[in-house]
Structure 1
Amino acid sequence: MPGVASETRQPCPDCGAEIRGDSRFALWCAACDWNVDPGQPQPDGGPLDRAVRAAARRHGQRLLAEMLSGQALRPRRDASAVAATALALIVHGVTLALAVGGVWCVVAGWGGVGVVAGVVLLVLFWALAPRVRRPPEDRPVLFRADAPELFALVDEVARAVGTRSVHAVAVDGSINAHVMTYGARGRRLLVLGMPLWEVLTPEERIALLGHELAHYANGDTRNGLVVGTAVRTLALWHHTLQPLPDPSGIELAVNALYVLPRLVVRGLLVLFVRLTSRAGTRAEYLADRLAARTASTQATVGLMDRLLTTHSLAVLLRSEANRAALGGSRSAREAKARADELWALLTAFAASIPEHEYERQRRAGARRGHQVDATHPPTHLRRACLLAGEPLPAAVVPQHHRSERIATELAAARTDVARRLLRDGLVD
């Protein structure tokens, strides 16, 4: 895919229409959709899988209809959300029971046996209890003193969305962005993927900030204190119950004992995904709507289009990482120049993606439909939902001087992330 673009022409193998395309992308026919989604695997034809996919499709269509009619203007706490909260409370109850049982056994004593049993239960509680999140240590983290102009923009977007701002901003190499909480006081953290930030226009960046901060305003169940910590607890349990590698005789027996609990925990994780997916897809539509009110409909639609190209951007970044690895070691000055060159190359590549590639991605998304375990609605439907209503103007307008100052504040993190990408080739 990376490289010099050249036009390709050929007749469609199915309908015979002339196909014109870009050599960097999949060649497909706009007349009959031949090869429109070459990487899509064939779905399993089992009756249960077909029924689950049909249910996901029906829910997706019903939710889209609600959004288009204006019925789903606010997040709703439906039966699935209530069930997810109840299940989360049970998970936390099990964790608390370990602590209570451990203390009770230690106090009871029972000639020393209770003390041993209590210590074991307390150790299990300590090992399996949910951990308070901390700011990431493997990526640059900026606070208000480090980036006053960036935080001023985030603050303005937060006010437009109707929520509190964040306490910190982390920058990484993902082609994505998300929000989370950290610390015992539930401080807010915005994580910006520098590859995505670099290819967006100033208006689209405001739309991205508006969408992510809207998840705080919407009260997204998936990121809530009760459900979010329960999911992380189950993930910790599942990791703890993984089979021991190269087991001895005793360890083989331990692995056998782990099988059933691991299957139960995995089943609970899958159930959480099912129960929260409906509220999650609604929250994404609502976040898109708030982003459009903040940055304008046009800017938010532009953001949706950029999100269609994340795979292409990831391929380019991995290709550049491989090329850097073949080039061998460099001096510090050469490494910085190569890091700056990476962002220029990525931005130029994103700007050169032709319209017919965006259209192919939209049609491919329409063919795939609603995925059962997807945390987001299909991008083409999010885009269509935005375009169905009256175009909204921007409440927050980018300022050239602010954009320049933000670029200066992000310069060190920008270089650090590029060096990591070129060194490790890890793109999320």
Structure 2
Amino acid sequence: MPAIVEETVQPCPECGSEIRGDGRFTLWCAACDWNVDPSEPQPDAGRLERAGRVLARRHGEQLLGEMLDGSGGRPRRDVSAVAATVLALAVHAVTVVLAVGGLWCVVALGGGIGVVAGVVLLALAWLLAPRPGRLPEGRPVLLRADAPELFALVDEVAGAVGTRSVDAIVVDGSINAAVTSYGIRGRRLLVLGMPLWEILTPEERIALLGHELAHYANGDIRNGLVVGSAVRSLTVWHHIVQPLPHATGLEMIVNALYVLPRLLIGGWLILLIRLTSRAGMRAEYLADRLAARTASTPAAAGLMDRLLITEALGVWLRTEANRAALRGPRSTRRATDRAGELWERLTAYAASIPEHEYERQRRAGARRGHQVDTTHPPTHLRRACLLAGQSEPAAVALQAHRSDLIAVELAAARTEVARRLLRGVLDD
């Protein structure tokens, strides 16, 4: 079903130039950049976010220069990374001390007071201990026996970027993809957002897989067992000691007692973010480079362009869910029964997005810089870095028959995710 294009023509209020655009998207002037970024980013919620923005701005353009001149082209285990590891080990040491102290109180002191103190310390150690990741519930999980062709493709891409493959693949409704780990043994997990996967070309899908798997190959310390779990633990601690809202009486005393721990934990977390920010930004540039070597430079650049329209895709999906809900429960059931059609309409919508909307997003991204995302360099910088270097050919190709087989393997998951989306469940 082709998307309906709403052509609009008007003069620019600023410079008078003729503006031709699609009424479904923001109208803007390419001559003077009028209305190029009408929605300003929301202000930061706290000092952790502000610290992240400052560090992202400091490292972003500097790292781009290093990538372009060749000095930043490989992962580094520098002083910051070593310091981050030491700080992370100190975080885990706190948990160990609490656990050992709790056992000592129970065994050595005994009696009522010793047992109570020991139980409290052990409970704190259990609460603050890092948790191994788990397979998400309520979302389709694919193992090798479920999707042999898809896993074979992931294996091939993993080999091309120089790492081992994943143990499971989760399919969800996010307009994204990610890698993480689960279980005590640290098994590898690929999270594949079906809306993003559906709108990509076969070459761009390989670039997406190459980018995500490259985070394993680059040894990204942010996702490592030691540093990654320490950041997650500190985040949990910081959440626990947040002041109680609308406090009265005893709660005001608790809030006062929380002040010092909150400052210490917040400072610790900011320091870890500071030490890992530069390495994290470099990891993204390196992952893009490996994606280009795996799928070709044009495919990796095409993936960057697709990432520019994720917000528009999210709005479109929410609109579809709202339409189904407004028609009533019976209409919603009919829509979910025909959930597979959602992907055809989404693909048609993505294909209808005009080039001037992509260009607007690039210019808006250049204006915002790192105001939106502190964990990734701005997309326009990542795209510029890819296109500035030598064009890479594809090391992995996805033939049509293999693509068809993978589509069959994903069919049940596609339908289930589409039904969730039509019920208004858009995964983060």
Query: Normalising to structure 2: TM-score of the pair?
Result: 0.92
Offset at residue 251 of structure 1 (A): 4.4
The residue aligned with 1:227 is 227
Q: Structure 1 residues 50 and 257, CA, compared in 2 at 3 Å: closer, same or farther?
A: closer
Aligned with 2:423: secondary structure? helix
**CA gap 1:246/1:54 in 2 versus in 1, 3 angstroms:** closer
What is the SS of the residue equivalent to 1:411? helix
In the superposition, relative to structure 1, how do residues 56 and 414 fare at CA in structure 2: closer, same or farther (>3 Å)?
Answer: closer
Q: Distance in 2 between matches of 1:331 and 1:4?
A: 23
Given that residues 56 and 375 in structure 2 are in contact (C-alpha distance below 8 angstroms), is that contact kept between their aligned partners in structure 1? no
Q: Which amino acid aligns with 1:403?
A: S
Tell me the residue number matched to 2:196. Answer: 196
What amino acid maps onto 1:238 in structure 2?
A: H
Q: Tell me which amino acid in the other structure corresponds to 1:127.
A: L
Counterpart position of 2:63: 63
Counterpart of 2:129, as a letter, is: A
Contact 1:273 1:373 in 2 (8 A): no
Q: Per-residue deviation at 1:196? A: 0.3
Name the CA shift for 1:376/1:83 in 2 (closer, same or farther; >3 Å): same
In structure 2, the residue corresponding to 1:410 is in which secondary structure? helix
Q: Does 1:309 align with 2:317?
A: no
- Identify which range, 89-98 or 130-139, moves more after superposition: 130-139
Deviation string, structure 1 residues 139-181 (Cα, Å, up to 9, x no partner) = 1110000000100000000000100000000011100000001
The change in CA–CA distance for 1:17 and 1:134 in structure 2 (over 3 A counts) is same
Task: Please give the alpha-carbon distance, in whole angstroms, between the structure 2 residues aligned to 1:180 and 1:116.
Answer: 38
Q: Does the C-alpha gap of structure 1 residues 52 and 421 become closer, same or farther in structure 2, counting only changes over 3 Å? A: closer
Residue 408 of structure 1 is matched in structure 2 by 408
1:126 and 2:126 correspond: yes
Contact 1:52 1:372 in 2 (8 A): no
Compare 249-258 and 92-101 and name the one that shifted more: 249-258
Q: Does 1:10 pair with 2:16?
A: no
Alpha carbons of 1:394 and 1:373: their partners in 2 closer, same or farther (altered >3 Å)?
Answer: closer
Alpha carbons 1:317, 1:427 under 8 Å: kept: no
Counterpart of 2:364? 364
Change (3 A) 1:372 1:35: closer
Name the amino acid aligned to 2:354.
P
CA distance in 2, matches of 1:249, 1:43: 32
Cα–Cα, structure 1 residues 387 and 96, in superposed 2: closer, same or farther, change >3 Å?
same
Structure 2 contact 295–396 (Cα < 8 Å) conserved? yes
Cα distance between partner residues in 1 of 2:360 and 2:408: 36
| Secondary structure of 1:215 counterpart | helix
Identity %: 76
The residue number in structure 2 matching 1:208 is 208
- 1:105 Cα deviation from its structure 2 partner: 1.6
Report if the CA contact (8 A) 1:274-1:373 is conserved: no
Is 1:78 the counterpart of 2:59 in the alignment?
no
CA contact under 8 A between 1:322 and 1:425: conserved in structure 2? no
Query: Matched residues in 2 for 1:373 and 1:102: separation?
Result: 41
Residues in 1 aligned to 2:42 and 2:109: alpha-carbon distance in whole angstroms: 60
Shift of 1:8: 1.1
Give the C-alpha shift of residue 371 in structure 1.
Answer: 3.9
Question: Contact conserved, 1:17 with 1:29, CA < 8 A, in 2?
Answer: yes
Counterpart Cα distance in 2 of 1:91 and 1:125: 11
Greater shift in the superposed pair: 253-262 or 126-135: 253-262
1:76 shift after superposition = 1.2
Whole-angstrom CA distance in 2 between matches of 1:245 and 1:368 = 33
1:169-218 CA distances to partner (integer Å, 9 max, x unpaired)?
Answer: 00111000000011111100000001000100111000000000000000
Name the structure 1 match of 2:272.
Answer: 272
* Maintained 8 Å contact 2:210/2:287: yes
Aligned-pair CA distance for 1:259 = 4.0
Alignment of 1:344-423 (within 5 A): 344-371=344-371, 374-423=374-423
SS in 2 for 1:9: strand
2:145 match: secondary structure: coil
Gaps of 5+ in 1: none
Change (3 A) 1:222 1:365: same
Letter in 1 for 2:62: R
Give the aligned partner of residue 298 of structure 2.
298
Matched, 1:236 2:229: no
Change (3 A) 1:111 1:135: closer
Is the Cα contact below 8 Å between 2:55 and 2:277 reproduced in 1?
A: no
Match of residue 153 from structure 1 = 153
Report the Cα offset of residue 79 of structure 1.
3.1
Paired with 1:262 and 1:3, the residues of 2 have a C-alpha distance of: 51
Alignment partners' CA distance in 2, 1:368 and 1:336 = 38
- Cα-to-partner distance string for 1:66-111 (whole Å, 9 max, x where unaligned): 1111222211123332232122111111111101111222222165
Encode CA deviations 1:297-333: one digit per residue, 9 max, x unaligned: 0111100000000000000001111111112223898
Counterpart secondary structure, 1:192: strand
1:96-144 CA distance string (max 9 Å, x none): 1101111222222165422321121111111221111111112111000
Offset of residue 244 of structure 1: 5.3
Residue 257 (structure 1) aligns with: 257
In structure 2, do the counterparts of structure 1 residues 401 and 419 end up closer, same or farther at CA, with 3 Å as the change threshold? Answer: same
Give the SS at the match of 2:31.
coil
| Alignment partners' CA distance in 2, 1:251 and 1:326 | 43
Is the Cα–Cα contact under 8 Å of residues 144 and 167 in structure 2 kept in the other structure? yes
Post-superposition offset of 1:58: 4.5
Instruction: Give 1:90's aligned residue.
Output: 90
Over the aligned positions, Cα root-mean-square deviation in angstroms equals: 2.5
State the aligned residue count: 423
CA distance in 2, matches of 1:234, 1:268: 8
User: Does the 8 Å CA contact 2:324/2:332 hold for their aligned counterparts?
Assistant: no
Q: For residue 231 of structure 1, report the CA deviation from its aligned partner.
A: 1.2
Q: Which amino acid aligns with 2:118?
A: G
Separation in structure 2 between the aligned mates of residue 341 and residue 116 of structure 1, nearest angstrom: 60
Q: Which amino acid aligns with 1:356?
A: H
Alpha-carbon contact 1:161-1:213 (below 8 Å) kept: yes
CA distance in 1, matches of 2:332, 2:16: 54
Counterpart code for 2:32 = C
CA distance in 2: counterparts of 1:380 and 1:236, whole angstroms:
33
Q: Is the 8 A contact 1:98 1:125 kept in 2?
A: yes
